[in-house]
Amino acid sequence: MAEHPNAGLIREAISLFNRGDWDAYREYFTEDVVWHVGGNHPLSGDYRGRDAIFEYFARVRDLTGGGLRTEPQDILADDSHGGVFTRVTADRDDRHLDVVLAQAYRINPDGKFTEYWALADDQDAVNAFWS
Amino acid sequence: MTEHPNAATARRSYEAWNIGGLDVLREGFAEDVVFHFAGNNAMSGTYRGQDAVMDVLVSQPGFPHAEMETILASDDHIIAFLNVTAERDGKTLDVVLAMPMKLNAEGKIREVWYLANDQRGYDEFYS
């Protein structure tokens, strides 16, 4: 079965994230995008608007020395939604993170992300990593 | 594009849920199914095994109704987007849940995450 165009879109966005190409990555979001970061840690919560989300990405980058990587295992999509199961690895001081994150996206007709949710298979490990 | 067989599995489970068909719902789960509820409410946490999962699902007050927005499916995974509504003690719940799932080799649901777009509203309703 051919990949849905929105699956390709998500794949490109993840690749830009991994390369740290923030200007190009920014183009994949609407101005008023909402980002839900699950869990109980200092970065958890709802981020509203592209600026708030990119401040969050900057914090993630600073805390992990730019070394957080996400490696998609499966990408699902239809005309207005996407989902990704992705392995996320990062190091922070002497802490190591290695989890699978389940991510859900809403995508508008222009091919931009309007809403996002994420939660990990081992949420306790994520909470400990960021706390 | 024809629907993936795993999407049909998920659809059957939700239809069963909405009419109280708990046996059908249980059959869709692997023995060692795991459910992750996000947030800070009475249900939040991880539940392991068919019995624990069925117990927490039926314990949800207000018997929430799930309206399917869309189902994405591949050979190993499903993501359902659902509009969930419920009422309880004068409180109303109306949220969109994104529900990613992993399937086992037999096509049974092995792991599920509950993610609400309005987690605070969800927490208040279930606190």
Work out the average pLDDT over B100-125.
89
Q: Does A83 touch chain B (CB under 8 A)?
A: yes
Q: Which CATH number fits domain A5-130: 3.10.450.50, 1.10.40.30, 1.10.3720.10, 3.20.10.10?
A: 3.10.450.50
Cβ within 8 Å of residue A19, ≥6 positions away: none
pLDDT tens for A91-100 read 999 999 999 9
Residue B62's pLDDT band, with cuts at 50, 70 and 90, is confident
Work out the average pLDDT over A63-84.
94
Cβ within 8 Å of residue B59, ≥6 positions away: B43
Binary contact (A82, B100; C-beta < 8 A): no
pLDDT beyond 80 at B89 = yes
Best to test chain A binding among B72, B97, B118 (most A CBs inside 10 Å): B72
pLDDT beyond 60 at A27 = yes
Angstrom CA distances, B16 to A10, A106, B82, stand at: 32, 26, 15
Among A1, A77, A104, select the one facing B115 at the smallest CB separation.
A104
Name the H helices within A20-94: 22-26, 50-63
How far is it, in rounded angstroms, from Cα A83 to Cα B73? 9
pLDDT tens for A37-57 read 887 889 988 999 999 999 999
Beta bridge partners of B92: B87
Q: Are A64 and A92 in contact (CB under 8 A)?
A: yes
How far is it, in rounded angstroms, from Cα A25 to Cα B42? 37
How far is it, in rounded angstroms, from Cα A16 to Cα A28? 10
Tell me, what DSSP letter sits at residue A80?
A: S
Q: Name the average pLDDT for chain B.
A: 90
* Chain B contacts in chain A segment 17-76 (CB below 8 A): 34, 36, 38-40, 46, 74, 76
Identify all chain B residues contacting A48, using CB atoms and an 8 Å cutoff.
none
pLDDT beyond 70 at A1 = no
How far is it, in rounded angstroms, from Cα B50 to Cα B67? 23
Binary contact (A85, B98; C-beta < 8 A): no
Our CA-based measurement puts residue A39 at a distance from the nearest CA of chain B, in whole angstroms, of 7
Residue B9's pLDDT band, with cuts at 50, 70 and 90, is confident
Percentage of the residues of chain A whose pLDDT score is greater than 90: 80
Binary contact (A76, B36; C-beta < 8 A): no
Provide ipTM, 2 decimals. Answer: 0.81
Which residue does chain B place closest to A36, by CA atoms?
B117
Which residue does chain B place closest to A80, by CA atoms?
B70
pLDDT tens for A62-71 read 999 999 999 9
Domains and CATH numbers, chain B: 5-126 (3.10.450.50)
Q: Where are the domains of chain A?
A: 5-130
Binary contact (B119, A80; C-beta < 8 A): no
pLDDT tens for B23-41 read 999 999 999 999 988 878 8
